[in-house]
Structure 1
Amino acid sequence: MSELPSVTEADERIRASVPLFPAERVPLDAASGRVLRQQVRAERDQPPFDRVMMDGIAISLADAGRREFTVNGRQMAGMAGAVLADPAGCIEVTTGAMLPAGCNCVVPIEQVVHEGDRVTLLEGWEPTARQFIHPRGSDCHQGDALLAPGVRLRAPELAVLAANGVTEVEVAAVPKVAIIATGDELAEVSQQPLADGQIRRSNDRALAAALRDRGFVDVQLTRVPDDLAATTARLGELLATCGVLVLSGGVSVGQRDFVPEALRALGVDKVLHRLAQRPGKPMWFGIGPQGQVAFALPGNPVSALVCAVRHLLPALEQAMGLAPRPPERVVLAAPAVTSPALTCFVPVRVHHDDAGRAVATPVPAPTSGDFSALPGTDGVVELAPSAEPAPAGTVAALYRW
């Protein structure tokens, strides 16, 4: 029997195989949470003019000792630029306004006394050149690269797009995802009562939640029985309409594990089947005839979720064009069980200690089918093969649910 690929090797095979999903253009107001697929450059200098940073008066320091000024006009935000022709005068200004021509200093309103059209600086306040002025182009210059493809569009990115007049945004198209639960033992959540040997479907709900949390919102759920012909027929229908297939169960080497055979019959090329990890060892991954992505995850709930956060979600984010980022690092608060030959994934709760370190407390599941302990955990840590338990203080990669 050939040696199973390590988690790292499996990751490399998956990442080398997943295609890039197509792009589409959406209105700016529909772009939140999407993955950018275009470069965005500055439409103009920012700020596009010398910008007043405080309500107050704008003055010229041509006469450095002057402390009294005559109001010559007002310059409000949004108004065309005013001009100060008399260095003995001042112009009242508001935050965000253009700095009036002829002025090189802004004095806050709290530092002056108004008496009609006369303005006097408070005793002890000394104005300096370029005070409270946001210089033109100090944030960026026209043509500067502001956003690159591969970023998730959050509030700051949306602000940049809007400020630079981007009304339509090129983003990754969100693929349609089918989640297929397999097994004759599965019953609907609402079924009452359950027959002997039945369990309610739960893996598909957990996987759907994990996908939706990462922006894959076009998700449909279905079930197939433990029957090769029925499984093949249903998967064929879904391959014709979905870009991603995620199966749960039927992927091991049992008498009724028909998923690999059905996928092979439909022309889905196997990239890997089984890898050296616990839980989740039986995972299957392949690419369909039209570039569809197919993940067949184990049927045990913990195994399915571990494979989803460690392999499925990173692969789909890469296919969206999202720039890769290293996993979060945490410190184990207590020893955790490892395996001499397998990478182990252990559920943890995470908190920050007084030094600000992210500390992970192991919450091991007795079996890969025991998901009752997972609520309240934050994710799983990845522990390299070892003959000894990972000691407290070990730094490990965290994959959040």
Structure 2
Amino acid sequence: MSDLISVSQAEALIAEHMPSFGSERVPLGDAVGRVLRQAVHAEHDHPPFDRVMMDGIAVHWSAALPRRLRVAGAQMAGMRMQSLTSDDACLDVTTGAMLPAGTDCVIPVEQLRRDGDSYALSDDCRPVAGQFIHRRGSDCVQGTLLLSPGMHLGPAEMALLAANGVGMVEVAAVPSVAIVSTGDELVEVDAPLGEGQIRRSNDTAVRAALRLDGFDRVALEHIVDDEAATRARIADLLERHDVLLLSGGVSMGQRDYVPAALAAAGVRKVFHRIAQKPGKPMWFGIGPRGQAVFALPGNPVSALVCATRYARPALRAAQGASVTAPEYVCLDEAVDINPTLASFVPARVQTDTQGRLTAYPVPSRTSGDFSSLPRTQGFVQLSPGQGKAPAGTVAPFYRW
């Protein structure tokens, strides 16, 4: 066990060695879902003028405001500013319009009755100065920092970009990723199964996980259990991609050629083997041009756990994405733990009646048993210890 590193050590070493993927400028419409790499400040005061908040009339308020007001014109949304010059008159206004000069009060249409060229105020209408007016700069003033580098561009962020005239957006570049399955036993998803064969699924699962994070430049590759072929293909893939995610061939079996092939291609090993279950054989290194190489175990649960726990957050961080703290859950029942290895236990989660996020463990029978994973949303990470982690234990939770 002396060559094993801890989960936290593995996390720190990956963060220390990961490259940066740089940035690019894209049209606003192509920026959704990307990671922002520029600061965005308010182009102008928001709102940029005193803004009417209700359909109705604008008046100059006074304690002696008449109960009947003559209509002197209109201020519609998008019009240049109009003016009111008489205290016994009003202007028709619509939501979003500029507040007319000479007015300081908006009376909503629900409190009015139109009578020819005038409005009568309803009996219960008691207007006050300043009502239903969205004052200039009350949301933010020109120059206010609105968006910071590292933010994920969702609907709200996209609205701010548009509202502040950012037509070209600097975002993190998306790296080219190769997901490589190794093994003679693997066949394509639509191929007939021969004796001793299984269909490839790890690459499909990992690609799906990466796409959830916006990584869509992904190629799926397969390498047979041949030493020369493994060396040649890995060298070729390193020339064509920024990131390699390999599945299988990384343990200590007589046909596990991946570590030697990576070394032959100039990939520098950062670590190999983590004190965790499942996923102990995981390997990580950096290629001669700074390529990030994650060699994941071949068992399906192990591969998905390692991709979720290490590769995905590392790729997001390499894009400059803001680091998010893990969720924490409360175990619903006691769970067996390993005395020397961190345990990653699949679980389904839901909020209990006290508002706590509760985890219900759904342990896999083996690291190759992924049939129960669709009943889970992720896994809990439990520290090494004797016996069981008791019900009520609070632990970090990582979503698939």
Q: Same fold (TM over 0.5)?
A: yes
Secondary structure of 1:71's aligned partner: strand
**1:221 — aligned with what?**
220
1:80 partnered with 2:83:
no
1:130 partnered with 2:102:
no
C-alpha deviations, 1:236-276, integer Å up to 9, x for none? 11111111100000001111111111111111111111011
1:267 partnered with 2:266:
yes
- Aligned partners of 1:344 and 1:97: how far apart in 2? 60
Secondary structure of 1:102's aligned partner: coil
Which has the larger displacement, 158-167 or 56-65?
56-65
Aligned-pair CA distance for 1:154: 0.4
**1:232 — aligned with what?**
231
- Aligned partners of 1:64 and 1:13: how far apart in 2? 74
**1:369 — aligned with what?**
368
**1:20 — aligned with what?**
20
Which has the larger displacement, 70-79 or 383-392?
383-392
- Aligned partners of 2:246 and 2:355: how far apart in 1? 39
Q: How many residues align?
A: 400
1:384 partnered with 2:380:
no
**1:246 — aligned with what?**
245
* 8 Å Cα contact 1:63/1:87 also seen in 2: no
Aligned-pair CA distance for 1:63: 4.7
C-alpha deviations, 1:118-177, integer Å up to 9, x for none? 112111221111101111001111111100000110000000000011111000111111
* 8 Å Cα contact 2:65/2:88 also seen in 1: no
**2:186 — aligned with what?**
186
**1:33 — aligned with what?**
33
Secondary structure of 1:13's aligned partner: helix
Letter in 1 for 2:338: S
Q: Which runs of 5+ in 1 are unaligned?
A: none
Letter in 1 for 2:367: S
- Aligned partners of 1:211 and 1:145: how far apart in 2? 30
**1:301 — aligned with what?**
300
Aligned-pair CA distance for 1:388: 2.7
Secondary structure of 1:77's aligned partner: coil
**1:323 — aligned with what?**
322
Q: 1:91 to 1:65 in 2, by over 3 A?
A: closer
Aligned-pair CA distance for 1:65: 4.1
Which has the larger displacement, 160-169 or 1-10?
1-10
Normalised to the residue count of structure 1, the TM-score between the two structures is 0.98
Aligned-pair CA distance for 1:61: 1.0
Letter in 2 for 1:9: Q
Aligned-pair CA distance for 1:216: 0.6
RMSD after superposition? 1.1
* 8 Å Cα contact 2:3/2:273 also seen in 1: no
Query: What are the residue-to-residue correspondences of 1:189-204 with 2, within 5 Å?
Result: 189-192=189-192, 194-204=193-203
Secondary structure of 1:245's aligned partner: strand
**1:102 — aligned with what?**
102
1:7 partnered with 2:7:
yes
Letter in 1 for 2:256: D
Which has the larger displacement, 101-110 or 224-233?
224-233
Aligned-pair CA distance for 1:2: 2.8
Identical counterparts, % of pairs: 59
- Aligned partners of 2:58 and 2:235: how far apart in 1? 72
Letter in 1 for 2:341: L
C-alpha deviations, 1:280-324, integer Å up to 9, x for none? 000001111111111000000000000011001000000011010
- Aligned partners of 2:67 and 2:255: how far apart in 1? 91
Normalised to the residue count of structure 2, the TM-score between the two structures is 0.98
Secondary structure of 2:2's aligned partner: coil
- Aligned partners of 1:4 and 1:53: how far apart in 2? 63
- Aligned partners of 2:41 and 2:219: how far apart in 1? 38
**1:292 — aligned with what?**
291
Letter in 2 for 1:386: G
Aligned-pair CA distance for 1:3: 4.5
* 8 Å Cα contact 1:283/1:307 also seen in 2: yes
* 8 Å Cα contact 1:344/1:385 also seen in 2: yes
Letter in 2 for 1:336: V
**1:281 — aligned with what?**
280
C-alpha deviations, 1:349-395, integer Å up to 9, x for none? 11122222211110000110111111121011111111131111111
**2:117 — aligned with what?**
117
C-alpha deviations, 1:29-70, integer Å up to 9, x for none? 011100000011111000000010000011111354432211
- Aligned partners of 1:238 and 1:106: how far apart in 2? 67
* 8 Å Cα contact 2:35/2:153 also seen in 1: yes
* 8 Å Cα contact 2:52/2:94 also seen in 1: yes
- Aligned partners of 1:360 and 1:241: how far apart in 2? 41
Secondary structure of 1:170's aligned partner: strand
1:153 partnered with 2:153:
yes
